[in-house]
Amino acid sequence: MAERKNQKILITEPIYELSSEGPIKGRQTPPMTFVSDKLIPQSNVYIRFGWIYGMPEPNPHIHEHSHNYDEIVIHIGTDPDRPEDLGAELEFMVDGEAVKIDKTSALYIPKGVKHGPLTWKSVKRPHLEMAVFPGTSTFLEARPGGFVREDNT
């Protein structure tokens, strides 16, 4: 049977792009990329996500940085009876202010805004972390090309 036109926009096999973080205990590394120009040409968005299944080590492993693009960071709990409960507690520094995350949430970070470190305080249950970069569509644009660490490493 011939491939249908809309099958080209359904991604069921992610790509696993290496990142500067290297292997991290307690989380899926590298995470799964499900939307990029590599997978959907001219999509103009980059989306990757991965499982956090234990206390990450090192912690933090996401340090202060900024991007040349907006970013949406989403944390998703996995308890179907309490979907808003993340099952973990995180502290994310955004523009110098601590943001406590312990519920399923989405955090919008405008381009150029410094964010990080992201520190896990506790992990009771596996959860998902997703990063969405609207307006960029490749790993190199989103990171490291659009990723600027403040400590120059």
Give the Cα separation of 54 and 125 in Å (integer). Answer: 8
* Domain at 23-149, CATH class: mainly beta
Strand partners, 149: 65
pLDDT at 9: 83
What pLDDT, on a 0 to 100 scale, did the predictor assign at position 14? 95
Digit-coded pLDDT (tens) for 77-106 = 999 999 999 999 999 999 999 999 999 999
In whole angstroms, give the CA distance from residue 55 to residue 24: 10
Question: What is the pTM for the complete model shown?
Answer: 0.86
Is the distance from CB of 140 to CB of 48 less than 8 angstroms?
A: no
Each domain of the chain, given as residue ranges in start order, spans: 23-149
Q: What is the pLDDT of residues 121-148, one digit of tens each?
A: 999 999 999 999 999 887 777 664 344 4
SS3 state at 86 = strand
